[in-house]
Amino acid sequence: MASVSCKTLGIGLAGFGTVGSGVWNILARNGELITDRTHGSVNLEIRKVIVRDLNKFREADAPDEIFDTDLALLIEDPSIDIVVELIGGTQAAFHLVAAALKAGKPVVTGNKALLAERGKELFALSAEHKTPIHFEAAVAGAIPVIKAVQESFIGNRIESLTGIINGTSNYILQRMTEAGLGYPEALGEAKELGYAEADETLDVNGWDAAHKAILLASLSYGTLINYEDVYVRGIEMVTPLDIRFAKELGYVVKLLSLVRQHEDGSIEIRTQPSFISAKHILASVNGVFNAIAVKGDAAGESLFYGRGAGQEPTGSSVVADLVEAARLMEHGGTHRGFLPAEESPKLMPIEDTATPYYVRFKVTDRPGVIAEIATVLAEAGVGISGTHSPSNPEDPDADFVDMVFLLHKTPFGHLKETLAQVEALDSVTERPVVFRLEKL
Amino acid sequence: MASVSCKTLGIGLAGFGTVGSGVWNILARNGELITDRTHGSVNLEIRKVIVRDLNKFREADAPDEIFDTDLALLIEDPSIDIVVELIGGTQAAFHLVAAALKAGKPVVTGNKALLAERGKELFALSAEHKTPIHFEAAVAGAIPVIKAVQESFIGNRIESLTGIINGTSNYILQRMTEAGLGYPEALGEAKELGYAEADETLDVNGWDAAHKAILLASLSYGTLINYEDVYVRGIEMVTPLDIRFAKELGYVVKLLSLVRQHEDGSIEIRTQPSFISAKHILASVNGVFNAIAVKGDAAGESLFYGRGAGQEPTGSSVVADLVEAARLMEHGGTHRGFLPAEESPKLMPIEDTATPYYVRFKVTDRPGVIAEIATVLAEAGVGISGTHSPSNPEDPDADFVDMVFLLHKTPFGHLKETLAQVEALDSVTERPVVFRLEKL
């Protein structure tokens, strides 16, 4: 039973789109449950919602009188104890979050771009004003991976993080795999179903996933990684042909974000479409679901899987953060888990990161081509673990054929130099297509 | 950099078996990392280890002078701030934990049996003395599912929890599936590899898993479930034949713990070997790994996967709890998340729980048998969704054959009554074998 005498905390929401209305609905439905579960100590009330346009259709049924258009009200109004930033972008959001921290109002945000790009300044303000920023909703929707890395794995050196953390890309790749769709058709389908935004850029170019990986890596290694130093490739150039070949070879193509600490302490961090074994548990992460494998030196490999986006899944993480914020306000604690330190960690240059590869060449179909390519590879010391070149059933007599080589583990820089030599061969007619074969 | 001035907390370990030595090793290796990550605020030192036999071989290299044999020292010694209970059992462990709570010393325990059977008394003491009990290590080793249910899902009504949470049983069933081994052979192999204890009883009879499910259900629904009311079956009677038939039908056999809240508020809770679709993500949880699917009304379906036992995986959860305990001591907070309430929740009687079923009959091989059985089922209103009765390749002319019926969803009580009638038929020669087909 909720205690009647408990203090109610006033929440101010900036933004009332998908996630904002999810937060409203969850608190309307389960607010009393939260109060019961905390034995009356946590009572949350949304007292103000700031939107750009008061007349826009709202997905949740909140009373008109709490809506307003001036973000500054969330700072000025003394009845607002906690500020929830859900407006996105990095300009107005930065000013709001910074102002809230300076005013000593804890912040809950789901804005991964804001934290990945301006987190250093915000975490410094947070420390200076002893006012926490909570951001479970910024990475992987309902999946509590921030809490896992910050708290559950606090006794572990994090050896690696491997994630499928962009549902839009994952859905598109899945449809290309299952239905043989081309990229534009699969993207169109994702948009129709509401799985892709009107502007899909950050989802498909890999940056949404990369921002999340940067946050996870920063928490794992104690300092904010400079986003400009991170290697990111999207799924826009993935072809149905490579997806078909992947399948024939026992792999699936996934937009994979990978963070790994090497023995010299350097951090490998990259996001790119990669081949993973069709048998690995990450291969079965379908549709808009997300999954993150975390490997700690004590815990071993763990995997967290769930809804990576959506109204209530992401809202669920915002609400958990609100309860956390309320508890910290009650007990006077500040941040939990790791805090970014001053110096930047040493990143491993992308040229030094080594994996096996899938490389597809478009070649003139004449005798001796395989030998020519294999000779260049051999002279460069790049081993071949397999080849794949099914004849084209629609045109078995074609002049140009696709020739796949599976290559042994090689630093990416060396591979690029070697492939430049292969590309210079007369018989090779297009730039080679490269995917990493990730051993997970 | 660790601040030199931070207060060091003294840890007392009761028990120095697998998990205790894991905790020692993790703190020895990563203790400084923890202090760095908490900006100098958490500094943990194991000051006393209580064992039964001082001369027993120790798996970790702790100095002799901190070992002792009297549990009471952990309470009396003022240099011990936090007590870690890893002795197992429910007698001495209960007295130790109760004494620690009364003395205001926070407790970290991995003892699921203790909490499932005597948790009500211990949580009452914890509340009375405002001294927390932390028990992440009690459920699923390194997997932070307690924290997920208590904190990350605090804004959710928990609709269901479905877990593979006993690694020993899972390993045995996997080996029976992969290698066609019988139960005794697979158990022997598990013992040889150290995946089963010398006394395997609680692992294979389902109670280890059931204790964990009781804890998760109790946290989810706010009150401790009476363990005597819970339906539990183990894997001892699972035969290679049913495992083979499962495979032929597209299923795998897993020891599944299931908790579900129904619309009338009643709780279904049971642990038993069950058929699950070979395509479901839980089907790919192999060996000694654990996995728990949590479905919340806001978050949707999430899955947590990782090492369910072992020295450092379980040690990792103990260490995370120690850090949590240290933070609560610093900030004066008590329990986090839900706390068991007074009244017991309404459990759904096992007779009322309804699923589809796999039922195998041993029958006399003569014309009319299928019709006889089908008639009894039809008169009882139990629908048949499929049958399976491959002839025995080693003896196609056998007198007795195995006849499998797949049955539509029916309350378990009604199924039992109906099967009693089938069993009474002359042509049915043995008690039917029943597995639930779980739709996950």
Residues contacting residue A397 through CB under 8 Å, at least 6 positions apart:
none
Q: Do A333 and B327 touch (CB under 8 A)?
A: yes
Q: State which residue of chain A sits closest to B25, comparing Cα positions.
A: A298
Least CB-CB distance to A155: which of B301, B316, B328?
B316
**A223 to chain B, closest Cα gap in Å:** 10
Check CB contact of A310 with chain B, cutoff 8 Å.
yes
Q: Which residues 235-294 of B are in CB contact (within 8 Å) with A?
A: 281, 284
pLDDT of A389: 82
**Mean pLDDT of the region A402-429:** 96
**Mean pLDDT of the region A86-92:** 95
Active site annotation includes B7? no
pLDDT of B134: 96
Check CB contact of A366 with chain B, cutoff 8 Å.
no
Which of A31-35, A229-233, B387-391, B401-405 is predicted least confidently? Answer: B387-391
pLDDT at A52 over 50: yes
Least CB-CB distance to A303: which of B37, B306, B338?
B306
Q: Do A222 and B22 touch (CB under 8 A)?
A: no
Catalytic residue among B105, B147, B212, B295: B212
Residues of chain B with pLDDT under 50: 1-5, 337-338
d(CA B323, CA A327): 17
pLDDT of A192: 94
pLDDT of A345: 78
d(CA B429, CA B422): 10
- Residues A141-159: tens digit of each pLDDT: 999 999 999 999 999 999 9
Q: Do B144 and A136 touch (CB under 8 A)?
A: no
| Greater pLDDT, A259 or A391 | A259
Partners of B218 on chain A (C-beta within 8 Å) are: none
Least CB-CB distance to A154: which of B34, B307, B310?
B34
Query: Domains in chain B and their CATH numbers?
Result: 8-141+312-331 (3.40.50.720), 145-307 (3.30.360.10), 352-438 (3.30.70.260)
d(CA B157, CA B295): 9
Give CA torsion, residues B78, B130, B96, B139, to 10 deg. -120
| Greater pLDDT, B4 or A374 | A374
**B382 to chain A, closest Cα gap in Å:** 35
Q: What is the predicted ipTM?
A: 0.92
Check CB contact of B52 with chain A, cutoff 8 Å.
no
pLDDT at A337 over 60: no
pLDDT of B400: 84
Selected for mutation to probe chain B from A156, A324, A338 (highest B CB count within 10 Å) is A156
Give burial (CB, 10 Å; 0-12/13-18/19+) of B76: exposed
pLDDT of A341: 58
Under 8 Å between Cβ of B86 and B20: yes
pLDDT at A161 over 80: yes
d(CA A275, CA A439): 9
Under 8 Å between Cβ of B77 and B12: yes
Check CB contact of A319 with chain B, cutoff 8 Å.
yes
Question: Mean pLDDT score of chain A, rounded to an integer?
Answer: 92
Q: Do A296 and B315 touch (CB under 8 A)?
A: no
**A151 to chain B, closest Cα gap in Å:** 6
Least CB-CB distance to A316: which of B33, B298, B331?
B298
Partners of A37 on chain B (C-beta within 8 Å) are: 154, 222, 337-339
Least CB-CB distance to B316: which of A298, A306, A331?
A298
d(CA B35, CA B346): 45
Q: State which residue of chain B sits closest to A295, comparing Cα positions.
A: B306
**B37 to chain A, closest Cα gap in Å:** 5
- Residues B218-268: tens digit of each pLDDT: 999 987 888 889 999 999 999 999 999 999 999 999 999 999 999 999 999
pLDDT at A357 over 80: yes
Under 8 Å between Cβ of A92 and A21: no
Partners of B336 on chain A (C-beta within 8 Å) are: 327
Partners of B296 on chain A (C-beta within 8 Å) are: 142, 316
d(CA B36, CA A222): 9
pLDDT at A381 over 50: yes
d(CA A200, CA A208): 10
Under 8 Å between Cβ of A229 and A347: yes
Q: Do B152 and A320 touch (CB under 8 A)?
A: yes
Partners of B332 on chain A (C-beta within 8 Å) are: 331-332
pLDDT of A2: 37
Residues contacting residue B336 through CB under 8 Å, at least 6 positions apart:
A327, B132, B150, B151, B324, B328
pLDDT of B343: 67
